Structure 1
Amino acid sequence: MGKIFGILVLIGVPLSVAGSLMHWPTLMMFGIYCLTIIALSSFMGRATESLAIVAGPRIGGLLNATFGNAVELIISIFALKAGLIEVVLASLTGSVLGNLLLVAGLSFFLGGIKFKRQTFNVHDARHNSGLLMFAVIVAFVVPEIFSMGMNESKTLSLSIGISIIMIALYLAALFFKLVTHRGVYAAQNENEETEHHEEPEWSKGKAIGVLLLATLAVAYVSESLVHTFEAVGESFGWTDLFIGVIIVAIVGNAAEHASAILMAMKNKMDVAVEIAVGSTLQIAMFVAPVLVLLSLTFAEPMPLVFTIPELVSMVTAVFLAVIISNDGETNWFEGLTLLAAYVIMGIGFYLL
């Protein structure tokens, strides 16, 4: 699989550059851009996996989520610049649904087929559950409710205030998990894993170099991808909502998808769960607020106000993920349940 993605990168990046300069057909370029970003994301995933072996499951999962979300952030910034606010909000919704239902679902399902019962750190799961409830239910639902009695200016002010608080709390959560309480709630299987030495695929220097180069390439291709959304939507009859929730979210989070599933297949559930849930928290508590603040520099600022279908689907996904993960163990049927929920919501957004 690594060789296939390597070939896709070698072919895809030059084709992306040539196609954008020579104005090749939009639908063809949309496919090339998506495949190139997914291939580049696989390299980002392999690089962060190598760093995870050196740094441990918590930091490794955080690194994977961060660089995976870097793709989403880059795409969203260019979409904001183009005035596609609905696509950006929909892509944030898609990231939450994709990570909690698709990524976690595939990880639990495929890992559960290979290993009948898989466990992970229950303390981390419960800590993350509280943050998920806060991030989606408090920080996303509250602006929607309060904005009903506000004008656009006050709604934007509310969004800015919430965004600043969210970023501060997210940084505090990282400080809690990685500094003040690092190792306090370590699971037994996490301690056992450290005894088995595993060699990283790439050295630390090479992994960091690959991450930086892949991120730069993704930034270039993402800017071109954004300009194809309108034409692609008209060709297939897709709404901005569907493009954001499904297409942009899957392409933007390809690195996490591949890495979390790979970790689950190796029975490294602490890393797999940290990638899926940690990425969701980072999207909700850091990426979304940063995009709100960055949008102030563009012609059309973005308030943190989602549509009712987006809010209902995110709240439902959070409740389902919390109930399934709070016991610190999982199996293939729980994974299938999450996947079923994702497909149902995908059909709904397609038909909406």
Structure 2
Amino acid sequence: MGNKVFFILLAAGLPLSVIGSLLHWPSVIMFGIYCLTIIALASFMGRATESLAVVMGPRIGGLLNATFGNAVELIISIFSLKAGLVGVVLASLTGSVLGNLLLVAGLSFFMGGVKFKRQKFNVFDARHNAGLLIFAVVVAFVIPEVFSLDMSESETMSLSVGISITMIALYLAALFFKLVTHRGVYQPSEKGGGAAHHDEEEPEWSKKAAIAILAAATVAVAYVSEKLVHTFHEVGQAFGWTELFIGVIIVAIVGNAAEHASAIIFAFKNKMDIAVEIAVGSTLQVAMFVAPVLVLVSLLFPTKMPLVFSLPELISMVSAVFLMIIISNDGETNWFEGLTLLAAYVIMGIGFYLL
């Protein structure tokens, strides 16, 4: 039933996106059409990566899901940078971190916990990811904020570029560590969370078909995202939304729709290794790869983007990181822990709406 709804949304949304753009329909209407179209495309990306996860295993499957899920946001952010909307980009990065750690993980833990009393996942991965989360958000995001207080704009930008290059290098090293040199080294003898059964499940699509669908959906998302960015100003004025709220909540939710859907589906199937890999892995990818890449890409545009967030953004991200680490560090979860994460997201959402 759900797949039919997304198919109908896509079949209607793509043509309407093109027609509405050519006929210059009102921005508020086009904003809704673009968002629904991106969400429909994201659902197909999620199903394709789920098929790849069945074939290639939870770690690579989760990484692919996070990568293609973040590709949507990366595309939206690049077009936003081109339009000079640096505030929206920084806010959307904040929203991605909060959305993945609190909303995606929270919904996954809650929905899975409603069906299963206790759900387990790889505790070694959880502890490894905890250290990277501390580095990516607490160290690499806080340092530019502190040092920029006594720096000029050009010095702050130079610092941001240096940190960005370092973060990208460490992220690539982390992938090499997890997928090459230490692949399987920290797998527990008893594979919890139902992830051990991925080889028994039939993928929805073949490997080639899944990759083709991912590629086509990514191209379509690029087109729709470029149009979506140009509606932000008028939509913000129409609804009274600030640039910060649009970035933190709206862009982040639309941009990460693929991960939201996939993580919840995996959790409901008791495949917590993949669900956690999507939520936490996507956060690490946003913080250690997407954000630094956007800093470097901004050098090509008139308006540069330093890696400096506002104080509310920083405190929210740091709080989300510590809450997620405390909840996930034991390698198991339940519906109440998911509800705790969701409550934190609601509180922060109210704050950003009223700010």
TM (norm. structure 2) is 0.98
Q: What are structure 2's unaligned runs of at least 5 residues?
A: none
- Give the aligned CA root-mean-square deviation in angstroms: 0.9
Query: What residue number does 2:69 align with?
Result: 68
- The alpha-carbon deviation at position 189 of structure 1 amounts to 1.5
Partners in 1 of 2:213 and 2:8 — Cα distance? 15
1:5 corresponds to: 6
Deviations 1:68-120, CA, capped at 9 Å, x for gaps: 00000000000000000000000000000000000000000010000000000
Report the more deviating stretch, 256-265 or 2-11: 2-11
**Paired letter, 2:219:** L
State the alpha-carbon separation in 1 of the partners of residues 230 and 26 from structure 2: 12
Instruction: Identify the match of residue 240 of structure 1 among 233, 239, 243.
Output: 243
1:146 to 1:43, Cα distance in 2 relative to 1, 3 A: same
What is the correspondence of 1:5-154 to structure 2 with a 5 Å cutoff?
5-154=6-155
Note the alpha carbon deviations across 1:260-302, whole angstroms, 9 max, x for none.
0000000000000000000000000000000000000001110
> Which residue of the partner structure matches residue 214 of structure 1?
217
Instruction: Tell me which of 220, 229, 234 is aligned to 2:232.
Output: 229
Q: Does 1:281 align with 2:275?
A: no
What residue in structure 1 maps to residue 191 of structure 2?
189
What is the DSSP-based 3-state SS (H/G/I as helix, E as strand, rest coil) of the residue aligned with 1:148?
Answer: helix
* Distance in 1 (alpha carbons) for counterparts of 2:126 and 2:241: 36
Deviation at residue 192 of structure 1 after TM alignment: 7.1
Cα drift, residue 196 of structure 1: 5.3
Which AA in structure 1 matches 2:81?
L
- The separation in 1 between residues aligned to 2:150 and 2:196, in whole angstroms, is 53
Match of 1:345 in 2: 348
Aligned to 2:313: 310
Letter in 2 for 1:62: L
Q: Which runs of 4+ in 1 moved over 3 A?
A: none
The residue aligned with 1:198 is 201
- The equivalences for 1:251-266 within 5 A come to 251-266=254-269
How far 1:151 sits from its partner (Å)?
0.3
* 1:329 maps to which of 327, 332, 336: 332
User: C-alpha displacement at 1:195, in angstroms?
Assistant: 7.6
Q: Tell me the amino acid that sits aligned with residue 11 of structure 2.
A: L
CA distance in 2, matches of 1:237, 1:231: 10
* Counterpart AA for 1:222: S
Is the partner of 1:77 in helix, strand or coil?
helix
Equivalenced residues, count: 352
How far apart are residue 193 of structure 1 and its match? 1.3
Q: TM-score, normalised by structure 1?
A: 0.99
Is 2:54–2:199's contact at 8 Å kept on the other side of the alignment? no
SS in 2 for 1:189: coil
**Structure 1 unmatched ranges of 5 or more:** none
Instruction: Kindly provide the CA deviation profile for residues 26-50 of structure 1, in whole angstroms up to 9, marking residues without a partner as x.
Output: 1100000000000000000000000
Asked whether the equivalents of residues 87 and 243 of structure 2 are also in contact (C-alpha less than 8 Å), the reply is yes
Deviation at 1:134, TM superposition (A): 0.3
Tell me, what secondary structure is at the counterpart of 1:299?
A: coil
SS in 1 for 2:307: coil
SS for the counterpart of 2:135 is: helix
Name the residue aligned to 2:166: 165
